[in-house]
Amino acid sequence: MFCIPNMAIGDFLKKIQQRSEIERKRIFWLLVILFGIIFFGLWILTVKQQINSLNKNKIRQELNLPQLEKQFKNLPKPELPKFDEEELKQLEELLNEEAKTP
């Protein structure tokens, strides 16, 4: 769109000022989008670098994950009561009766 090899910045700005308002708005938004993409890319690279620099084992120890894992293993496992077929039929009949009554 523009070539700035030997042109001074002041000349470049004067050239932009001489363009129509619509063209100046397009140039402005193009620059805003371009800088937004550049800053977003830099932010992504920084976040990626910070994540990679984290020591996962150190975090695991700081959060006491080994102790939590042991505690979870030692928790009693819930057991459901076992019903025989006769008790299941009685429960089903009770549920059906309750469903019929308003």
- Backbone φ and ψ for 13, nearest 5 degrees, come out as -65, -40
In a domain, 49, yes or no: yes
Which pLDDT score is estimated for 75?
82
Domain that holds residue 17: 1-75
What's the token pair of residue 5? 């090899």
In a domain, 46, yes or no: yes
In a domain, 96, yes or no: no
Number of structural domains the chain divides into = 1
Closest residue by Cα to residue 25 from 14, 37, 16, 34: 16
pTM: 0.47
Q: What is the distance between the alpha carbons of residues 6 and 68, in angstroms, rounded to a whole number?
A: 67
pLDDT by 10s per residue, the chain, length 102: 455 555 688 888 899 999 999 999 999 999 999 999 999 999 999 998 888 777 776 776 677 777 777 887 888 878 877 878 888 888 888 888 888 876
What's the token pair of residue 34? 């371009």
